[in-house]
Chains A and B, each alone.
Chain A
Amino acid sequence: MTELVRLGRAAPARRPARIAILGAPNSGKTTLFNALTGHRAKAGNYPGVTVDRREGDLHARFTEVPVRLIDLPGVYSLEPQSEDEAVAVRVLRGEFGEPPPDGVVVVLAATTIERALPLIVEAANLGVPLCVALTMIDELKARHGEIDVKALGAALGVPVLGVVGNRGLGIDDLGALLAASSDWAPSAALRGPAVADTPEQRFDWAYGMLERCRRKVPRTDHWTRRLDRFLLHPVLGPTVFLAFVALFFQAIFTWATPAMDLLSGLMDGLADWLLAVLPDALWTRLLADGVIRGVGAVIVFLPQIVFLFTVILFLEGCGYMARAAFVVDRLMGWAGLEGRCFLALLSSYACAVPGIMATRTIPSERDRLTTILVAPFATCSARLPVYTLLIAAFIPADPVFGPFTWQGLTLGGLYFLGTAAALVSAAIFQRGLRRGASLPFYLELPPFRLPRPSDILLGVWDRAKMFLRRAGTIILCVSIVLWFLLNLPRRAADPELGAAANQQAILEGSYAASLGRLIEPVFAPMGFDWRINVGLVASQAAREVMVSTLAQIYAHEDEAGEGLGGVLAGADERSGEPVLSRPSALALLVYFAFAMQCVSTLAVIRRETGKWRWPAFTFVYMTGLGWLGAWVTFLIATAAGA
């Protein structure tokens, strides 16, 4: 029978062998997957970075026959309790609309093998051939631990290889082993009486195995111990953290601005050059004003994006994220959430889309839904261009204390506002939603590891590409559509007036202006005029569009060459009134902190919850709060005479 099944499976020739990568969270599966396939999937030094199944072909240098590798989310056992664990188990059982894998490589971190070894027994129960990749053997040695890899292989009765995924050690051997998965023999040691049903029996079995291979438990890493004593200190820890965050926000202005000014000058120069060189036609203006100035206004924020992600990727790679979750867990508890919700919220500071996907690691349905609903409040990188533009224009750069200025503090305040909104909303939802089955929250704190600079550079490069791709697709499209809306209908130029005044007349009579005036009553309480309203409508597609739209609208008013921010903060040429008053600018900032203005986020909420009512609800309550917050801010700022 088995023979028949085997033949049956092998019959459709050239079907690649499929090998699943199974292991505990943060055991280094994704690093190994990347090393074996040449892919660049995101790996991080905290549990739960991979939440979905990911496939890639074993790199051709290891194999002549095609081998497909499947990277799975980390599991502690094959009795799943959260969505990401369920994905792993369903793939292994062949319940994912595809046959079960032909082999499983169990990834065990040599440093924490005691807790992970029982997983092998469960994997063996599936009846799939196994092999073991023992990762982090360099770290084990550095921490004075020991294990005899050969003896472990003999004890388990399956092939075992020691590897160091991020330095490529042992990867060639592992690649060759994976290419020959048909030779893996089923293990006698993992069958029958060895299979235990209580966790106690499984651990007893694991320790029995480890005794046979001279296992010496590693000591706590020296540096981790010292850093933890400092970073998790009741007083020093939070102080250092706050100082670091404040410095980070300040640096966005003091360090990234020169690079941004340079880019901004380049874009303006390019647009002016095109207008001068090309014939004065409609499409020249579309290219120069719509595309170069519009999209360019967003692209100039590339230095800020690069800086933000360098910091985020370093923190993720070194292991600080799990510590941050540990430190604020009490606060999350007050909001009715647990630490895994915090990790999902944390990734939302880059972008809410992966943040919402990361909620799959949350076992409780109710906690997961709450986290999905509040994650878009986290200050994502798309808000950064809008914040930076408005803060640089309206907030004085006067020093407050040491290197910190009002600008940096305002930016920090906006991040705080988003975070507070997320936590308060979570607390409200958790009281409103039905209580689900509760499961223990535990978090493994990995040792600190120094991320390789090349990993960070590659990660930042990927994020920069993503930012530019967004600028080149969604923002480009919206900019072009807006250009037409801002420049149509055409009207005959009045020879009495100059070119700028004629352009102004077209703008004032454009379709976009009519649209902006139509919704004026909605935003009149905050003092937004039709131009800001057009920006607000357009930025429903993506928040950065606000910047590109304003850049288009004010393209011809920048005669002093002071940039978009300067125009916004200056006075209107004809009326002499400010283009945007400071209370209105503050109101706009608060609106962006709260309002839901992202189509991709709404789409991912629909996908992850499976219902339309949750994206609809998120849109209504967040945008409502944005409007209310903006109005209150405007009132307070006006009263305070800002």
Chain B
Amino acid sequence: MDRTLAQFADSGDDRLVEIAEVTGGGPIAWRLREIGFCRGTRVRFVRRAPLGDPAMYELHGATISLRRSEARRIRVRPAVP
């Protein structure tokens, strides 16, 4: 079952997930894919900022902060072990 990365972070689940797709198209989606949020990438939610947004994610060995508005465009599914 697909969820958005934002929903996944909201649930506080820190298991690995895999990115299914980046929706919406346009330059925003393209840039998100370019910095590593692209299909097949494994992502782990780390923590939320003290004020609730943005959230920290680990992917490709790096830690990246992303706002909820962007995380909503990313659909994820449980990672195949």
Give B22 Cβ to nearest chain A Cβ, in Å: 9
Are A203 and B35 in contact, CB atoms less than 8 angstroms apart? no
Are A443 and B65 in contact, CB atoms less than 8 angstroms apart? yes
Interface flag for A186 (CB, 8 Å)? no
Give residues of chain A (216-234) contacting chain B, Cβ–Cβ below 8 Å.
217-218, 220, 228, 232-234
A441 contacts which chain B residues (CB < 8 A)?
A: 54, 66-67, 70
| Of A81, A339, A443, A444, the contact of B27 (CB 8 Å cutoff) | A81
Interface flag for A331 (CB, 8 Å)? yes
A115 contacts which chain B residues (CB < 8 A)?
A: 35-36, 60-62
Interface flag for A262 (CB, 8 Å)? no
Among the listed stretches B1-9, B10-18, B37-45, which one makes contact with chain A, having 4 or more residues with CB under 8 Å of it? B37-45
Interface flag for B81 (CB, 8 Å)? no
Give residues of chain A (385-435) contacting chain B, Cβ–Cβ below 8 Å.
none
Interface flag for A529 (CB, 8 Å)? no
Are B61 and A112 in contact, CB atoms less than 8 angstroms apart? yes
Question: A329 to B56, alpha carbons, bound, how many Å?
Answer: 12
| Of A238, A438, A442, the contact of B65 (CB 8 Å cutoff) | A442
Chain B's closest residue to A330 (CB) is B51
Interface flag for A114 (CB, 8 Å)? yes
| Of B40, B49, B53, B70, the contact of A440 (CB 8 Å cutoff) | B70
Are B61 and A145 in contact, CB atoms less than 8 angstroms apart? yes
A-contact 0/1 string along B41-81, CB 8 Å cutoff: 10000110111111010101111111100100000000000
| Of B31, B33, B49, B64, the contact of A81 (CB 8 Å cutoff) | B31
Chain A's closest residue to B53 (CB) is A330
Are A199 and B64 in contact, CB atoms less than 8 angstroms apart? no
Q: Do A238 and B50 form a contact, CB below 8 Å, given A76-B34, A199-B30, A200-B38?
A: yes
A442 contacts which chain B residues (CB < 8 A)?
A: 32, 35, 64-66, 70
| Of A199, A204, A220, the contact of B58 (CB 8 Å cutoff) | A220
Q: Do A326 and B39 form a contact, CB below 8 Å, given A232-B49, A233-B50, A439-B28?
A: no
For A237, A338, A444, the residue with the greatest tally of chain B CB atoms inside 10 Å of its CB is A444
Tally B residues with Cβ within 8 Å of A: 32
Interface flag for A2 (CB, 8 Å)? no
Question: A447 to B54, alpha carbons, bound, how many Å?
Answer: 18
A238 contacts which chain B residues (CB < 8 A)?
A: 50
A199 contacts which chain B residues (CB < 8 A)?
A: 30, 33-34, 38
| Of B30, B31, B46, B50, the contact of A234 (CB 8 Å cutoff) | B50
B58 contacts which chain A residues (CB < 8 A)?
A: 220
Interface flag for A333 (CB, 8 Å)? yes
B-contact 0/1 string along A190-216, CB 8 Å cutoff: 000000001110011000000000000
B53 contacts which chain A residues (CB < 8 A)?
A: 329-330, 333
B50 contacts which chain A residues (CB < 8 A)?
A: 232-235, 237-238, 327
Are B51 and A331 in contact, CB atoms less than 8 angstroms apart? yes
Are B49 and A327 in contact, CB atoms less than 8 angstroms apart? yes
B-contact 0/1 string along A542-563, CB 8 Å cutoff: 0000000000000000000000
B36 contacts which chain A residues (CB < 8 A)?
A: 114-115, 203
Question: A198 to B32, alpha carbons, bound, how many Å?
Answer: 12
Are A77 and B34 in contact, CB atoms less than 8 angstroms apart? yes
Are B40 and A200 in contact, CB atoms less than 8 angstroms apart? yes
Are A218 and B70 in contact, CB atoms less than 8 angstroms apart? no
| Of B33, B46, B49, B61, the contact of A111 (CB 8 Å cutoff) | B61
Interface flag for A445 (CB, 8 Å)? yes
Are B63 and A444 in contact, CB atoms less than 8 angstroms apart? yes
Question: A328 to B34, alpha carbons, bound, how many Å?
Answer: 25
Question: A422 to B38, alpha carbons, bound, how many Å?
Answer: 36
For B32, B52, B54, the residue with the greatest tally of chain A CB atoms inside 10 Å of its CB is B54
B54 contacts which chain A residues (CB < 8 A)?
A: 326, 329-330, 339, 441, 443
Chain B's closest residue to A322 (CB) is B65
Interface flag for A11 (CB, 8 Å)? no
Question: A444 to B64, alpha carbons, bound, how many Å?
Answer: 4
A interface residue numbers (CB < 8 A to B): 76-77, 79, 81, 111-115, 145, 198-200, 203-204, 217-218, 220, 228, 232-235, 237-238, 325-331, 333, 338-339, 437-445, 447
B interface residue numbers (CB < 8 A to A): 27-28, 30-36, 38-41, 46-47, 49-54, 56, 58, 60-67, 70
Beyond the given pairs A114-B62, A228-B46, 19 more chain A to chain B contacts, judged by CB atoms under 8 angstroms and listed by A's residue number, are: A76-B35, A81-B27, A81-B31, A114-B61, A115-B61, A198-B33, A198-B38, A199-B33, A203-B38, A217-B61, A326-B56, A330-B49, A437-B27, A439-B27, A440-B32, A440-B70, A441-B54, A445-B64, A445-B65
Query: What are 10 A-to-B residue pairs whose CB atoms are below 8 Å?
Result: A76-B34, A112-B61, A113-B61, A232-B49, A326-B65, A329-B49, A330-B49, A331-B51, A439-B27, A440-B70
